[in-house]
Amino acid sequence: MTAVIAASNLSKWYGNVLGLNDVSLEIEAGITGLLGPNGAGKSTFMKLITGQMKPAIGTVTVRGIKTWNNPGVFREIGFCPEQDVFYDELTGWQFLTGLLRFYGYAKSEIRDRADRALDIVDLSKDKDRLIRGYSRGMRQRIKFAQAIAHDPGILILDEPLSGLDPLGKRKLIRLVKEFKSQGRTVLVSSHVLPEIEALTSRIVLIHQGKILAQGDIPFIRELIEAHPHQISVRSSEPRTLAARFVGDPSIQKMTFGPDGRTLIVETHKRDDFFGRLTGVVLEAGIEVEEITSPDDNLQAVFEYLVGK
């Protein structure tokens, strides 16, 4: 397949700080997830792709065209920035139609496109409200709408799921998948593996400005499972729960939290543990209040990959 987005020996510095280090990458049609912790260089990479920054070394092209100072290429690209910022004095409708003017469409087409985009993101009813009055989820969706309203072939989404509630995430994931099903290209960044997992199996791991690995989800999962994973389960009967897991081969260590109600489990096999946990909870009739993963496992994988 031909690369839609291609980076070759791409590097970028912010003064003395290295933002991106010798990145060579080809992104094809479909959804590609760019996964890395905060400050890994995801946003820098996306800003270089979208021509907001100039490469210090190397090149980045979209369909073979360099993006820096080449505005024509943005008819093909839709960009959804990470920042929760807008022209707050505008309503959702004014924001969308205002930005659509910049493509040179006739007034009627601007209205049609804005209507369609608002309909896709379920904001038609709220289009005349000021954006500053929108909820976080609505703001994320109007940001997505401005990225798709001109019907681009390539969509660049910088942390689009950040700050959304589970329902909001589900909606946005559905929209991105629909976009992909039309044969288009989506590059989406996140620092949360399950978010990327929900969108695609094709991921690129980025850390400290370098591409550490590329592959599908099972490959990344294997890397993650090579590291102990901490899971915290808060319930009314943590000791009963612990007793049920004694002898379970998927578990390496169990401790109790300082509140006396939390069981902290360390495991190499996260999925196996979750599979058993559901059964144990149902069998024993234990009421589980909360399940969390207190450590950042992605960080552990990154540290392993860079040899720390």
Partner 1 sequence: MTAAASFRQVLGFFAFLGRKTGKTRVFAILGLMPVALAVIVRVVLHGRAGLMAAVFTDILMVFFLQFYIVILALFYGTSVTAEEVENRTLSYLLTRPLPKPAIVLGKYAAYTLLMFAMVSLSLALSYFIMNAARLTDPALYLTFLGYLGVLGLGILAYTAFFTFLGTLLKRAIIVGLVFGFGWENVIQYFPGSTQRFSVVHYLKSLLPYRPMSGGGKGVALLLFRLEPTAPLAAVLMLAVITAALLALACWIFRTKEYLTED
Q: Which residues bind partner 1 (CB under 8 A)?
A: 14, 43, 47, 50-54, 69, 71-75, 77, 79, 81-83, 85-87, 89-90, 94, 98-99, 101-104, 146
- In the bound state with partner 1, the residue whose beta carbon lies nearer, of 70 and 293, is 70
How far is it, in rounded angstroms, from Cα 297 to Cα 304? 11
In the three-class reduction of DSSP (H, G, I as helix; E, B as strand; rest coil), residue 53 is classed as coil
Question: Nearer Cβ to partner 1, position 136 or 174?
Answer: 136
Exposed, middle or buried: residue 45 (CB in 10 Å: 0-12, 13-18, 19+)? buried
Residue 157: closest CA among 166, 168, 146, 165: 146
For residues 54 and 253, which CB has a smaller minimum distance to partner 1 in the complex? 54
Q: Nearer to partner 1 by C-beta: 145 or 241?
A: 145
Give backbone dihedrals phi and psi of 179, rounded to 5 degrees, phi first.
Answer: -60, -45
CB-wise, 176 or 198, nearer to partner 1? 176
Cβ–Cβ < 8 Å for 169, 195:
yes
- Taking the complex as a whole, the smallest distance from the CB of residue 29 to partner 1 amounts, in Å, to 20
Cα→Cα distances 180→60, 185, 188, 214, 303, Å: 22, 6, 12, 20, 32
Considering beta carbons, is residue 107 or 253 the nearer one to partner 1?
107
- 126 vs 158 by CB, closer to partner 1: 158
Place of tokens 């169990």: 254
Minimum distance of partner 1 from residue 111's CB (angstroms): 15
Residue 37 CB, shortest distance to partner 1, in Å, is: 14
The partner residues of 266 in beta bridges, in order of sequence, read: 230, 253
Provide, rounded to whole angstroms, the least separation between the CB of residue 94 and partner 1. Answer: 8
Query: Cβ 95 to partner 1, closest distance in Å?
Result: 9
As a whole number of angstroms, the distance between CA 264 and CA 290 comes to: 12
CB of 98 to partner 1, least distance (A): 5
Task: Determine the 3-state secondary structure of 45 from DSSP.
Answer: helix
Q: Report, in Å, the least distance between residue 110 CB and partner 1.
A: 10
Burial 145-166 (b: 16+ CB within 10 A, else e): bbbbbbebbbbbbbbbbbebee
